[in-house]
Amino acid sequence: VIDPHLDTPVYVQLADILRARIRSGELAPRRMIPSIRTLQQEYAVSDRTVKHATQLLRDEGLVHTVQGRGVFVTAQPPPG
Amino acid sequence: VIDPHLDTPVYVQLADILRARIRSGELAPRRMIPSIRTLQQEYAVSDRTVKHATQLLRDEGLVHTVQGRGVFVTAQPPPG
DNA sequence: GCCCATTTGTACGTATGTATG
DNA sequence: GCATACATACGTACAAATGGG
């Protein structure tokens, strides 16, 4: 659950949530994570915030984007 | 109410007021205090005065700043 | 008051893939 | 093959609000 009153920026909180859902196996490798618009509604945040969150995960190598398809969980988690 | 004619500096008076509002529970922990610009209008003082006052509270550990968000009442009041 | 960085939001353009004509 | 529509994503610009110097 996202709490706007926390010190942590909303996009970081969202990234943490998605990271947890991936690590828990709920969002499996090679599978698409919910679309930006879905996440946007699900967590009541703007698309900019969702993009910012997915950008973090992409930088971590946890997910990768396929243009016109969606954001997918990377099969091989990055070492470390 | 702030009185510019008192010996106590205006920014100290404002800090006292905010401190009282926090201790009374009106400004609850984890919640944002009114913005600098709001306080500036509310008490008819300059933004420098407000910043100076919040600086005092920050030094006391009573509040803390979150970049781009605002000044928040610290959840755990400092010991002592 | 100014300018700057950060956060969040909205809007728009663009690229890719799918489905339908 | 082409065009259209719709979905997805990205990127950018712009605006609003925040605190800090």
Residue pLDDT tens, chain B, 80 long: 899 999 999 999 999 999 999 999 999 998 899 999 999 999 999 999 999 999 999 999 999 999 999 999 998 766 77
3-state secondary structure B17-79: HHHHHHHCCCCCCCCECCCHHHHHHHCCCCHHHHHHHHHHHHHHCCEEEECCCEEEECCCCCC
Q: Positive or negative, the Cα torsion across B76, B64, A51, A73?
A: negative
The nearest CA of chain A is from the CA of B64 a distance in Å of 9
Set of chain B residues whose Cβ sits within 8 Å of the Cβ of A7: 64, 66, 69, 72
| pLDDT higher than threshold 70 for residue A36 | yes
A7 and B64: CB-CB below 8 Å?
yes
Which of A2, A6, A7, A8 is the best residue to mutate to test the B interface, defined by the most B CB atoms within 10 Å of its own CB?
A7
